[in-house]
């Protein structure tokens, strides 16, 4: 009975030029292909959004414009929940299915805005911070360090993702004597990320024992700086989310570990859920908020098929 | 016979939106001929020049120059230069951020064997030219730092740096120059003539034309009137052809008895500019100021007007000492100042004539900061008629007006404020005879109303003809103050001698009061 | 056009006098885009979408008007987005953290904008620092301060009524757009009828000319940058209401859009020329491009290419029309 | 000074003639910062850190030099970062995807830069579009194209030898800085001793003057924007080597830093003035501030505030010194 139906679905990305959100998009596109084949429906899928995560008002504008084009469903990820709730509620009111992926309107467990969206798949930012902290301490112990300084790097200041930094710092400081520096920001410019890491290396010298980059560009910058300074055996480096340069760095050992969220999986699930909600007239998922745990990828396990795909979802692209 | 024709202008027409600037001009110029081009403001002289030089495209007709037997038409400035045509435009066109030497060689820098610019050579050769023209400046001086008159001399002397010259155009070169510089220019023109180079010479000073030119062409309202040998004409004839009516001695205006003291300068100084200047201005009086370039006349007036700060001495207005901190202050105290460089500090070129006329007196036609546009327009229209500013509308951009009409706009602007003390710094620069007469009439009316006028001019007949008293300055000091009777007995040479007699002058004269 | 004899005041009210060349060109480009979008997509001409466009133009629109004022003087204000962002933060902090009533939060925000503007004028005028550098400095300082004050996080908890302002409307016109249009009308009248407006035009045409015409350059500078600061903070207030929170990145990158809107509308970066109506249309054009792109479902990368082309085309059309005359 | 008779050529070689006022002021500010940092921190004066500073300055430095050229003509090039980014991408695509040898990849990158520059000149000159808008358009178009070509992702797989260039050095001076300094020396000489350099100064002093002096404005425009495009792409090549990949955001936001470096160094946005040595120092100052901030462990938000203050202060110092004269 679904046969022949057609749906218009818009992915309102919060940063079109970020690889993480592109991986989400691959998940969605694959889901579109699978669902079209499975149900015999046609899906008109389009992408919109600002280039950069910091362009919050532009994101809001895109969301509004997407609603105005009256699609059947919108999948999105928001950096500023406060701003997005009203328009999401509007959209739901107009009968548009609104799903959030990775960054939603409220943390898992909260139900204040439960009427503003249909489904939310995510990975907890706090988990990422905790995991990174744990790995950092384990690796430092392996190298025999008990004291020293750790640098943190990130793109832009962002409330929703702040636990990545805060939890990392809290975990490390609660469980060891290492000192964690203030986060340095680079606005997703790799050269700045690299310069920031270089400047830390030159400032703290031997004392610098760990570097944590909480997104892919941060990881890239750290890897490049470490390579330039030739200190890959002396410093523990951890990245979050992957891109091709990070994968290379992991293979080379200039990055020791990447904490990876399943971007592809989240994107796929969001799309699948949206279409099935449309087909069935109600959300098939039991819980409106679903957590997907992050994976820890190291030089050792990076080549297993599962992790390789996690690192580079473009391999999965249909 | 035809071989010695250098330039032919045939049926040239040129239109701008709303203006027919040239209406069919035909004339021929021979090698070695010095041709004068005269006409009222807005008659189309500068436009014709720009067409000849190829920097404006013709609407109709053709202009060609004889290049060793071949007839060529320049399409732009580069072409013109290649064909040996050089122009000294009305509006000093010079790169202000660069040095004199570089301006001489603009667009044709000299390179040494390695293909890089040879600064040594350029500076050296430029210094020679500067010396030849007796300018007494360093070739490396930046144009911006020079007085306008000197800038004008730089653009004139610049022409002599070129090698192959066929035609040289001077568009009102003497407007800003005083006698000795004019002499240098004339010597240069004769030199060009001897080399068989044709010269086109535009000026509103008719005696100059009779002095230096061979033939004269009259334009009126963009149309060709006639061309005649200079030996066949006199000043009166030319005026009647230009203006369309005969004119009496334009300097003959009524003078009124000097009234109460309006303004007095008591030993004022500005370091490096002028020192210990004292003079007084009375109601109903025209106080003339004369001096050579750099004598510091403009500097004194700028200081009085609050542009620069006076460090010593004081200025009294109507007997009360005042401290003038800014031009705004000065205007509030009833001083009006017409500056000598209208393009630099007199006009907002890219704004309409209407705005320019009202620019310094919006407070007089506004309430609570809201302007009455009707009055703004009315005032502009009034002045347009009163001093005959040739413009299609008061909404025309000032940059599109002819030079003389731009000058009239500055005068209108000054009059709009109705100040009691009017300082005119070179008010007739580029203004035609007819308009000059009108300006002098205006000055007469002002003095009749009991206002005081300070008149600075580098043109001796003008200051001598109009002033009730004449202050002569040299090197930043007053060298003499000449009363009416004495002035009437003096010749131009006498005044010039005083102005250049800096050494002895201090003995012979006291201070004006 | 300008060279026709003025046939008195009656002539002032025909279209050719009401709109300048550039404004007509912009209007043409916008109309063409409008036609394409209404014919090519189903939902472009819907009340919801049209109000959307107006609503979205408001914040940039108000900033662009202020920017036009600054540009007319021959200056530029790079700090516009940061000043707006600071005001957004002030609204949020006042309401959510300091517990001030709404009216007072607005006063705080406006005061912040005014202070920033006056600071710009101070640096520019008293130390003769090029406006570009002075305001770039202010921008950097403000971006830092914003993060210091907000601890780098989003400040939420804005008054519900205040936030509702952004979603309300007067008839068909959203409240945000009402404010924008009011500012525009006020700005246009001020430019045309006030001595302040004339002062900035003259200042932009030449400093020396202005000074010798008795226009106080100091006063005009303080007025224009202060006025701009106020308008930026009005934009910031609108942004606070619209975003229902303050983010540390609020207003970031607006300077380029605002300057582009101004220049598209006929302002000259060398000063002495600029139009409020033109700026209005320039803003609309910029916002419209984004909207239409999404209506057509153009992929965002291609969309960027198209945006660039449309912006350049708009000016090229204008220049070609001027040349044809 | 100008009215003194020339005391011959000997006078040319004292410091006051070699360095202009602004350059001396900048040098002073930089020296002060240097002293503070070397006394206040342990590792500032280390070979690693000093080479770091030089290395980090190279990319912005080269862009800023080109920017200075453009600014001298009275123009501005907002597309600089995007052109560099496009060249970075061309290097990466050529080497990693199209399998071209290194030298050919450089040719491709340079060609891309040149084309972008000529396109800017084309739009600016032929259609009389304000440089700000034309290059803003180009920037937007290029940013879109970059993402279209790269599919919005990082392109890695750059030739190892080529990537090693960025980490190598000549003596103490990192390779990147060597290129930067070579470009600067070349740029400074070109400005002073070539007809091209002089033409752009004349053009910047006044279009009419240039036109009436028979300097081809068309030629000069194409030359200067083309030359700038080439230099931007050299910067892009350095960036590719430094990042060992191409990201779609490479070079983003560099325009503000480059323009700031130029203007700090004495370039006037209204044209006719600019100095390569000044630009060099301006770049160094901007990079230095960040470095020192991290050396002192200043928290990054406060650091932004400080950066803004230092930038403004640098110009204020210069103006105060000029006034004191
Ligand atoms: N660019 C322009 N646009 C419109 N009108 C112009 C332009 N240039 C000149 N005109 C008009 O053409 C006419 C002739 O001007 P032109 O400058 O040739 O006069 P002129 O004889 O040189 O006068 P003057 O003695 O005042 O210098 C004037 O009415 C002027 O307003
Ligand atoms: N040959 C020169 N070289 C450099 N500067 C000069 C020269 N002559 C004069 N000046 C400068 O010009 C200033 C005085 O010029 P100012 O314009 O006041 O004189 P003026 O009497 O009004 O002459 P004019 O109006 O005829 O040019 C002085 O400050 C002096 O430094
Ligand atoms: Mg003329
Ligand atoms: Mg003078």
For A268-292, write each residue's pLDDT tens digit. 999 999 999 999 999 998 899 999 9
Ligand 2 atom at minimal distance to the Cα of residue B148: 27
Q: Cβ contacts (< 8 Å) between A70 and chain C: which residues?
A: 42-43, 46
Q: Phi and psi dihedrals of B337, rounded to 5?
A: -135, 120
**How many pairs of residues across A and D have Cβ atoms under 8 Å apart?**
108
**D138 in any annotated domain:** yes
CB within 8 A of C149, min separation 6: which ones? Answer: C89, C93
Please check the confidence at residue A247 and state whether its pLDDT lies above 60: yes
Residue of C nearest to B401 (CA): C3
D197-236: per-residue pLDDT in tens? 989 998 988 888 888 777 889 999 999 999 999 999 999 9
- Residue C304 confidence (pLDDT): 83
Distance B403 CA to ligand 4 centre (A): 18
CA–CA separation, B36 and B218 (whole Å) = 8
> In this complex, which of D243, D287, D295 lies closest to A190 when CB atoms are compared?
D243
Q: Cβ contacts (< 8 Å) between A206 and chain D: which residues?
A: none
A64 and C248: CB-CB below 8 Å?
Answer: no
- Residue D176 confidence (pLDDT): 94
Q: Is C77 exposed, middle or buried (0-12, 13-18, 19+ CB in 10 A)?
A: buried
**How many pairs of residues across B and C have Cβ atoms under 8 Å apart?**
107
B137 lines ligand 2 (CB under 6 A): yes
- Residue C79 confidence (pLDDT): 94
A190 and D247: CB-CB below 8 Å?
Answer: yes
Nearest CA to ligand 2 atom 7: B294
D37-49: per-residue pLDDT in tens? 988 888 888 888 8
CA angle D87, D89, D95 (to 5 degrees): 105
Q: Cβ contacts (< 8 Å) between C205 and chain B: which residues?
A: 348-351
Q: Phi and psi dihedrals of C151, rounded to 5?
A: 60, 25
CB within 8 A of C313, min separation 6: which ones? Answer: C29
B95 and D202: CB-CB below 8 Å?
Answer: yes
Residue of D nearest to A153 (CA): D300
**D4 in any annotated domain:** no
Please check the confidence at residue B506 and state whether its pLDDT lies above 70: no
Say whether residue C324 is in contact with chain B using an 8 A CB cutoff: no
Give the mean pLDDT of B9-24. Answer: 87
Give Cα separations from B355 to B304, B369, C3, C241, C249 (angstroms): 26, 15, 15, 41, 42
CA–CA separation, A283 and A275 (whole Å) = 9
- Residue A26 confidence (pLDDT): 93
- Residue C10 confidence (pLDDT): 35
> In this complex, which of C4, C194, C212 lies closest to B345 when CB atoms are compared?
C212
- Residue D185 confidence (pLDDT): 96
* pLDDT-based confidence at residue C243 (cuts at 50, 70, 90): confident
B430 lines ligand 1 (CB under 6 A): yes
Residues of chain B above pLDDT 70, percent: 96
- Residue B1 confidence (pLDDT): 47
Q: What is the mean pLDDT of chain C?
A: 87
Q: Cβ contacts (< 8 Å) between A184 and chain D: which residues?
A: 294, 300
CB within 8 A of A93, min separation 6: which ones? Answer: none
Q: Residues of A160-192 as b/e, b for ≥16 C-beta within 10 angstroms?
A: bbbbbbebbbbbbeeebebebbbbbbbbbbbbb
Q: Which of B294, B428, B429, B475 maximizes ligand 2 atoms within 8 Å of its Cβ, making it the mutation to test the pocket?
A: B294
D138 and C303: CB-CB below 8 Å?
Answer: no
Q: How many structural domains comprise chain D?
A: 1
Where is average pLDDT lowest: B110-114, B372-376, C254-258, D117-121? B110-114
- Residue C184 confidence (pLDDT): 97
Query: Do B and A touch, counting CB pairs below 8 Å (3 needed)?
Result: no
Ligand 1 atom at minimal distance to the Cα of residue B390: 29
> In this complex, which of C3, C206, C215 lies closest to B392 when CB atoms are compared?
C3
B73-122: per-residue pLDDT in tens? 888 888 888 888 888 887 767 888 888 998 888 877 888 888 788 888 88
Give the mean pLDDT of B392-405. Answer: 88
**C34 in any annotated domain:** no
Of residues A146 and C324, more confidence is placed in A146
| Whether B63 contacts B73, CB under 8 Å | yes
A19 and D152: CB-CB below 8 Å?
Answer: yes
Which ligand is nearest the CA of B41, by number? Answer: 1
Domain B259-334+419-432+450-513 is found in CATH 2.60.120.330 = no
* pLDDT-based confidence at residue D15 (cuts at 50, 70, 90): very low
> In this complex, which of C56, C252, C304 lies closest to A54 when CB atoms are compared?
C252
* pLDDT-based confidence at residue D18 (cuts at 50, 70, 90): low
Say whether residue D211 is in contact with chain B using an 8 A CB cutoff: yes
Give the closest-approach CA distance of C73 to chain B in angstroms.
12
Say whether residue D107 is in contact with chain C using an 8 A CB cutoff: no
A181 and D52: CB-CB below 8 Å?
Answer: no
Report residue D8 as tokens: 């011959």
CATH no. of B5-84+164-243: 3.40.50.300
Residues of chain C above pLDDT 70, percent: 93
Radius of gyration of chain A (CA): 20
Give the mean pLDDT of D135-142. Answer: 91
- Residue D325 confidence (pLDDT): 57
B282-328: per-residue pLDDT in tens? 998 999 999 877 788 888 999 999 999 999 999 999 889 999 988 99
Ligand 2 atom at minimal distance to the Cα of residue B135: 1
C-alpha A318: how far from chain center: 21
* pLDDT-based confidence at residue B511 (cuts at 50, 70, 90): very low
| Optimal mutation site among C300, C301, C302, C304, interface A, most CBs of chain A within 10 A | C300
B241 lines ligand 2 (CB under 6 A): no
Say whether residue D144 is in contact with chain C using an 8 A CB cutoff: yes
ipTM over 0.90 threshold: no
Of residues C114 and D4, more confidence is placed in C114
- Residue A83 confidence (pLDDT): 87
Q: Which of B14, B23, B42, B43 maximizes ligand 1 atoms within 8 Å of its Cβ, making it the mutation to test the pocket?
A: B42
DSSP-derived secondary structure for C262-283: HHHTT--TTSS---HHHHHHHH
Give the mean pLDDT of D84-93. Answer: 96
Say whether residue C323 is in contact with chain B using an 8 A CB cutoff: no
CB within 8 A of C253, min separation 6: which ones? Answer: A54, A55, C81
Please check the confidence at residue C6 and state whether its pLDDT lies above 70: no
Type and span of the H or E element at B443: helix B433-448
- Domain ranges in chain B are 5-84+164-243, 99-158, 259-334+419-432+450-513, 344-418
Of residues D77 and C268, more confidence is placed in D77
B340 lines ligand 2 (CB under 6 A): yes
Give the closest-approach CA distance of D287 to chain A in angstroms.
9
Say whether residue B327 is in contact with chain C using an 8 A CB cutoff: yes
Residue of C nearest to B346 (CA): C209
| Whether B408 contacts B416, CB under 8 Å | no
CA–CA separation, D95 and D90 (whole Å) = 8
Please check the confidence at residue D122 and state whether its pLDDT lies above 60: yes
Q: Which of B147, B304, B425, B496 maximizes ligand 2 atoms within 8 Å of its Cβ, making it the mutation to test the pocket?
A: B147
Which ligand is nearest the CA of B300, by number? Answer: 2
Give the mean pLDDT of D156-181. Answer: 90
Nearest CA to ligand 1 atom 1: B400
Distance B361 CA to ligand 3 centre (A): 28
**D245 in any annotated domain:** yes
Ligand 1 atom at minimal distance to the Cα of residue B219: 21
| Optimal mutation site among D199, D206, D214, interface B, most CBs of chain B within 10 A | D214
B147 lines ligand 2 (CB under 6 A): yes
| Whether C117 contacts C225, CB under 8 Å | yes
Where is average pLDDT lowest: B450-454, C18-22, D257-261, D294-298? C18-22
Please check the confidence at residue D314 and state whether its pLDDT lies above 90: no
* pLDDT-based confidence at residue B461 (cuts at 50, 70, 90): confident
Report residue D246 as tokens: 């191409």
Q: Provide the sign of the torsion angle of the four alpha carbons B347, B348, B350, B356, taken in this order.
A: negative
Say whether residue B402 is in contact with chain C using an 8 A CB cutoff: no
- Residue A2 confidence (pLDDT): 66
Q: Is B320 exposed, middle or buried (0-12, 13-18, 19+ CB in 10 A)?
A: exposed
- Residue B144 confidence (pLDDT): 83
| Whether C251 contacts C135, CB under 8 Å | no
CB within 8 A of B239, min separation 6: which ones? Answer: B206, B246, B247, B433
Say whether residue C57 is in contact with chain A using an 8 A CB cutoff: no
**D5 in any annotated domain:** no
Q: Which chains touch D (3 or more CB pairs under 8 A)?
A: A, B, C
**D114 in any annotated domain:** yes
Q: What is the mean pLDDT of chain A?
A: 90
Q: State the residue range of the domain holding D81.
A: 50-252+269-274
């Amino acid at each position: 009975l679904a046969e022949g139906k057609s749906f218009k679905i818009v992915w309102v990305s919060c940063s079109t030029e970020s690889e993480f959100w592109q991986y989400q998009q691959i998940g969605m596109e694959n889901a579109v292909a699978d669902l079209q084949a499975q149900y015999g429906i046609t899906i008109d899928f389009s992408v919109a959004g600002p280039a950069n995560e910091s362009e919050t008002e532009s994101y809001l504008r895109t969301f509004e414009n997407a609603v105005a084009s009256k699609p059947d469903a919108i999948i999105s990820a928001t950096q500023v929940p406060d701003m997005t709730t009203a328009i999401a509620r509007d959209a739901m009111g107009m009968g548009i299915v609104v799903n959030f992926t990775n960054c939603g309107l409220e943390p898992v467990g909260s139900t204040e805005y439960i009427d503003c969206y249909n489904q939310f798949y995510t990975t907890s930012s706090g988990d990422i911070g905790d995991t990174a902290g744990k790995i950092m301490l384990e690796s430092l112990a392996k190298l025999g360090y008990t004291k020293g300084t750790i640098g943190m790097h990130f793109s832009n200041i962002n409330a929703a993702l702040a636990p990545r930094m805060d939890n990392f710092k809290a975990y490390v400081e609660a469980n060891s004597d290492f000192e964690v520096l203030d986060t340095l920001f680079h606005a997703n410019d790799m050269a700045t990320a690299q310069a920031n890491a270089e400047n830390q290396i030159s400032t703290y010298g031997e004392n610098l024992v760990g570097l944590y980059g909480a997104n892919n560009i941060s990881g890239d910058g750290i890897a490049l700086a470490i390579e330039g300074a030739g200190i890959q055996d002396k410093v523990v480096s951890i990245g979050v989310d992957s891109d091709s340069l990070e994968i290379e760095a992991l293979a080379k050992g200039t990055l020791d570990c990447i904490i990876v969220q399943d971007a592809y999986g989240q994107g796929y699930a969001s799309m699948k859920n949206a279409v099935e909600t449309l087909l069935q007239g109600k959300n098939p998922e039991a819980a409106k908020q679903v957590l997907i745990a992050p994976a820890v990828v190291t030089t050792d396990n990076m080549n297993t098929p599962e992790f390789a795909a996690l690192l580079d979802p473009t391999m999965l692209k249909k | 016979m035809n071989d010695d024709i250098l330039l032919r202008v045939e049926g040239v027409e040129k239109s701008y939106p709303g203006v027919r600037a040239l209406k069919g001009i035909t004339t021929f110029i021979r090698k070695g001929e010095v041709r004068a081009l005269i006409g009222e403001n807005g008659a189309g002289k500068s436009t014709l020049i720009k067409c000849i030089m190829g920097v404006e495209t013709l609407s109709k007709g053709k202009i060609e120059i004889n290049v060793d037997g071949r007839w060529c038409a320049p399409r732009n400035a580069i072409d013109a230069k290649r064909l040996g045509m050089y122009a000294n435009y009305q509006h000093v066109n010079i790169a202000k951020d660069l040095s004199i030497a570089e301006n001489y060689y603009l667009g044709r820098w000299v390179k040494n064997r390695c293909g890089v610019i040879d600064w040594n050579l350029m500076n050296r050769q430029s210094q020679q030219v500067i010396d030849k023209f007796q300018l007494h400046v360093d070739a490396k001086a930046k144009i911006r730092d020079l007085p306008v008159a000197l800038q004008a001399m730089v653009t004139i002397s610049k022409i002599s740096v070129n090698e192959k010259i066929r035609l040289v155009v001077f568009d009102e070169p003497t407007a800003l120059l005083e006698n000795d510089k004019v002499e240098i220019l004339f010597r240069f023109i004769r030199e060009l003539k001897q080399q068989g180079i044709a010269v086109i010479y535009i000026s509103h000073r008719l005696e100059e034309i009779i002095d230096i030119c061979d033939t004269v062409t009259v334009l009126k309202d963009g149309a060709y009137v006639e061309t005649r040998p200079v030996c066949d004409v006199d000043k009166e004839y030319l005026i009647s052809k230009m203006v369309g009516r005969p004119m009496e001695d334009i300097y003959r205006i009524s003078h009124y008895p000097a009234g109460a003291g309006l303004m007095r300068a008591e030993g004022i100084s500005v370091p490096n500019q002028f020192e210990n200047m004292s003079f007084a201005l009375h109601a109903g009086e025209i106080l003339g100021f004369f001096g050579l370039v750099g004598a510091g006349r403009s500097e004194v007036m700028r200081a009085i007007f609050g542009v620069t700060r006076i460090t010593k001495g004081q200025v009294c207005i109507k007997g009360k000492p005042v401290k003038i901190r800014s031009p705004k202050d000065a205007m509030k105290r009833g001083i009006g100042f017409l500056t000598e460089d209208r393009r630099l500090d007199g006009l907002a070129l890219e704004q309409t004539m209407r705005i320019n006329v009202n620019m310094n007196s919006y407070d007089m036609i506004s309430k609570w900061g809201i302007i009455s546009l009707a009055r703004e327009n009315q005032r502009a229209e009034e002045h347009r008629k009163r001093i005959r500013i040739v413009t299609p509308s008061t909404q025309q951009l000032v940059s599109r007006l002819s030079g003389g009409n731009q000058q009239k706009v500055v005068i209108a602007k000054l009059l709009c404020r109705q100040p009691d003390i009017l300082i005119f710094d070179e008010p007739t620069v580029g203004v035609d005879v007819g308009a000059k007469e009108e300006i002098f009439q205006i000055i007469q009316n002002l003095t009749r109303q009991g206002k005081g006028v300070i008149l600075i001019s580098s043109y001796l007949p003008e200051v001598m003809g109009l002033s009730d008293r004449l202050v002569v300055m040299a090197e930043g000091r007053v060298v003499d103050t000449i009363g009416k009777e004495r002035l009437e007995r003096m010749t131009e040479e006498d005044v010039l001698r005083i102005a250049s007699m800096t050494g002895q002058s201090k003995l012979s004269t006291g201070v004006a009061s | 056009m300008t060279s026709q004899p003025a046939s008195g005041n009656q002539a002032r009210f025909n279209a050719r006098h009401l709109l300048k060349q550039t404004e007509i060109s912009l209007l043409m480009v916008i109309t063409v885009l409008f036609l394409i979008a209404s014919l090519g997509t189903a939902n472009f001409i819907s009340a919801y979408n049209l109000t959307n466009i107006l609503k979205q133009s408001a914040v940039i629109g108000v900033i662009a008007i202020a920017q036009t004022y600054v540009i007319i003087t021959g200056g530029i204000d790079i700090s516009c987005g940061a000043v707006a962002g600071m005001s957004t933060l002030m609204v949020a902090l006042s309401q959510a953290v300091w517990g001030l009533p709404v009216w007072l939060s607005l006063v705080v925000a406006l005061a912040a904008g005014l202070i920033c503007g006056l600071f710009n004028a101070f640096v520019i005028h008293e130390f003769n620092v090029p406006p570009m550098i002075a305001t770039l400095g202010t921008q950097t300082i403000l971006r830092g301060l914003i993060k210091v004050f907000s601890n780098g996080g989003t400040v939420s908890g804005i008054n519900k009524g205040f936030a509702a302002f952004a979603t309300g409307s007067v008839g068909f016109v959203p409240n945000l757009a009402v404010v924008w249009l009011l500012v525009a009308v006020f700005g246009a009248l001020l430019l045309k009828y006030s001595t302040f407006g004339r002062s900035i035009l003259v200042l932009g045409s030449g400093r020396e000319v202005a000074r010798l015409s008795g226009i106080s350059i100091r006063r005009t500078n303080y007025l224009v940058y202060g006025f701009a600061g106020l308008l930026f903070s009005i934009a910031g207030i609108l942004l606070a209401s619209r975003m229902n929170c303050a983010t540390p990145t609020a207003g970031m990158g607006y300077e380029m859009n605002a300057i582009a809107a101004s220049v598209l509308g006929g302002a000259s970066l060398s000063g002495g020329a600029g139009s409020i109506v033109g700026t209005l249309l320039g803003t609309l054009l910029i916002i419209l491009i984004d909207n239409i792109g999404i209506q057509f479902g153009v992929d965002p990368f291609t969309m960027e290419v198209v945006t660039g082309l449309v912006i350049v085309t708009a000016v090229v059309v204008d220049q070609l029309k001027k040349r044809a005359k």
